Structure 1
Amino acid sequence: MPQLNPSPWLSMMLIAWLALSLIIQPKLLSFTSTNPPSHKTPTPSKTTPWTWPWT
């Protein structure tokens, strides 16, 4: 039964996992976001009630 033989796919899975965790992930995590979150306190907006013309 060839699906029980780990030799054809185990090495490729380990190489892909190592490439992802050692090479690709640090490169992706080093990017800075173009729009960093600001720490400003939100100002409450002043709302006026709607005046209905028929009341």
Structure 2
Amino acid sequence: MPQLNPAPWFAIFVFTWLVFLTVIPPKVMAHTFNNEPTTMGAEKAAPEPWNWPWY
């Protein structure tokens, strides 16, 4: 049974985490969004009153 010999499985585990920690984070952090959010002005827009007829 392969579970009794940890040598190859431990090496695969370490190599996998090495890939996770060195290759993937720079790729994820380099991602840019198509629509960057814009900052709005400091003043709030005045709400317009509703002119709906209430019955």
| TM-score, normalized by the shorter chain, greater than 0.5 | yes
Q: Who is 1:51 aligned against?
A: 53
Q: Which runs of 5+ in 1 are unaligned?
A: none
Shift in Å at residue 14 of structure 1? 0.9
Q: Who is 1:31 aligned against?
A: 31
Decide whether aligned partners of structure 1 residues 50 and 11 sit closer, same or farther in structure 2, where only a CA change above 3 A counts: same
Hey, which bits of structure 1, 4+ residues long, moved more than 2 A? 1-6, 41-45
| RMSD of equivalent CA atoms | 2.4
Q: Which runs of 5+ in 2 are unaligned?
A: none
| TM-score normalised over the length of structure 1 | 0.63
| TM-score normalised over the length of structure 2 | 0.63
| Percentage of identical aligned residues | 34
Task: Give SS of 2:23's match.
Answer: helix
